[in-house]
Structure 1
Amino acid sequence: MSELLQHPTAQVFLYALITAVATGLGALPFFFFEKLTRSWLGISNAIASGLMLAASFGLIYEGLNYDLWFTFYGIIIGLIPRGTSPLKAAWWSVFSSLPQPLMAVPAFIFVEIFRDYLPVGLGFAGGAMIWMVFAEVIPDAMEENDASIIATAITISVALMIVFQVLIG
């Protein structure tokens, strides 16, 4: 079993499965609190913003390891919603993460075959998340809380995500 987990394809599947399960942890507070206050919802949005920003820049830095200009183009294609409403963009972001464990292995194989285009995809994912954070998540958070509280929550969550990325990297 240990030898099987050493294979890159098995590791990709395992990490994607962990990611998919971790996505559900966002509902955890609702098991303990029947109704969160608007203030806590704002702080939650700020924390999500920070995590998304740090993850976006992690994707972008990974793309830069392959190609500067392809990554740049991917970012630009991702900051631009192409006529899609913010609500629809949010829906597609959530919907697209549902099949992660099943599609991670074929995606890994695909990326290996088309490695030259990986920076565009990484830039696109990072750019799309950055756009979502600034167009939707932070404005929603600002409606519920003071700017200094939101900024503090974002800063702390960015810092924690960077530490997490370094520790697992």
Structure 2
Amino acid sequence: MDIIINYLQSIDPVLAAFYASLFTWILTAAGAALVFVFRGMNRTLLDGALGFTGGVMVAASFWSLLAPGIEMSPGEGFTKVVPSAVGFAAGALFIFALDKILPHLHINFDKSEAEGLQSTWRRTTLLVLAITLHNIPEGLAVGVLFGGVAAGMPGASIGAAVALAVGIGIQNFPEGLAVSMPLRRQGVSPFKSWWYGQLSAAVEPVAAVAGAVAVTFFTPLLPYALAFAAGAMIFVVIEEVVPETQLEANTDIATLGFVLGFIVMMTLDVGLG
């Protein structure tokens, strides 16, 4: 791990953000690849995995994004928290707007329950877009943190950026499976199911590079940008991830998965950051 951290610290921050987000995409593709081995997935396991995803995202929002953002903000008392409060609200509202505009369908819902603007797109496309919504703030968070490291801002460290990428990568594994497996059960071929599963994370490198470039050129925006990514992630967890785990009788498993995910991400951030 030290070798990886030293290498990422020695290269351009935008390139480092791209490599880190590429790693998160690869784990998504690896999770989706399980459709080549299994045709179905136990719903209890899926809910536990989605709960784990939510726990990682919530922990990352605080430990990797909000806390460093508040630390590097100028001023004292209430003044110090203003950039994070504004950025957090903006991030949540950004995903809220995308949620209302972009046609998408949550994993365990009927096509008639698709959200966003009305569309004639196929169920497959709508499912992929739903997970893509999850991945935009994740890629953005990785990029913004690497940009903060390059800017030399206090509270932003290469170890914390790597920890965030590792945590998001781990929780992306079940996300890839969560897209590909329902498609496989519907009779879609294994390759097409895998293709759509990995495609849902293709947006992460794009968002990561955009985030890194933005804060590299506009350093004063960094506390706002970190909180923006956190607000976007929290909105996704509360509006999409958690409700999907509560549809059947697996609420306890999902909750335990959430706790485990939070512990894993917290441990990674503190241990590496």
Q: Secondary structure at the match of 2:58?
A: helix
Q: Which residue of 1 aligns with 2:234?
A: 130
Q: Is residue 44 from structure 1 mapped to residue 46 from structure 2 by the alignment?
A: no
Q: Give TM-score, length-normalised by structure 1.
A: 0.79
Of residues 245, 260, 263, the one that matches 1:141 is 245
**Out of 129, 152, 157, which is 2:256 matched to?**
152
- 1:65/1:24 Cα in 2 relative to 1: closer, same or farther (>3 Å)? farther
How far 1:147 moved relative to its partner?
Answer: 2.7
- Residue type of the partner of 2:268? F
1:39-80 Cα distance to aligned partner (Å, 9 max, x none): 222112111111111121121112112222111111112233
Q: CA deviation digits over 1:83-129, x for unaligned, max 9? A: 73384584434367435446755643431221111111111111111
| Secondary structure, aligned partner of 1:16 | helix
The residue identity in structure 2 corresponding to 1:121 is: A
Any stretches of 5+ residues in structure 1 without a counterpart? none
| Separation (CA, whole Å) in 2 of partners of 1:105 and 1:27 | 24
User: Which residue of 115, 120, 137 corresponds with 2:219?
Assistant: 115
Contact 1:47 1:157 in 2 (8 A): yes
- In 2, distance between residues paired with 1:155 and 1:167? 18
Tell me if structure 2 keeps the 8 A contact 1:75–1:128: yes
More helix, by proportion:
1
Match of 1:18 among 5, 23, 31: 23
Count residues in correspondence: 168
Shift of 1:37: 2.1
For 1:164, the equivalent position in structure 2 comes to: 268
Greater displacement, 23-32 / 83-92: 83-92
Confirm whether residue 79 of structure 1 aligns to residue 92 of structure 2: yes
Give, in angstroms, the shift of residue 20 of structure 1: 2.9
1:14-58 CA distance string (max 9 Å, x none): 323323323334325434432012222211211111111112112
Are positions 1:61 and 2:61 aligned together? no
Structure 2 CA distance, aligned partners of 1:15 and 1:138? 26
- Secondary structure of the 2:60 match is helix
Contact kept, 8 Å, 1:53 with 1:133, in 2: the verdict is yes
Instruction: Report the CA distance between 1:154 and its aligned residue.
Output: 0.5
Q: Structure 1 residues 27, 165: CA separation in 2 closer, same or farther (over 3 Å shift)?
A: farther
In the alignment, the residues of structure 1 paired with residue 43 and residue 240 of structure 2 have an alpha-carbon distance, to the nearest angstrom, of 16
Higher mean alpha-carbon deviation, 79-88 vs 56-65, is at 79-88
Greater mean alpha carbon deviation, residues 13-22 or residues 128-137: 13-22
How has the CA–CA distance of structure 1 residues 37 and 104 changed in structure 2, closer, same or farther, with 3 Å as cutoff?
closer
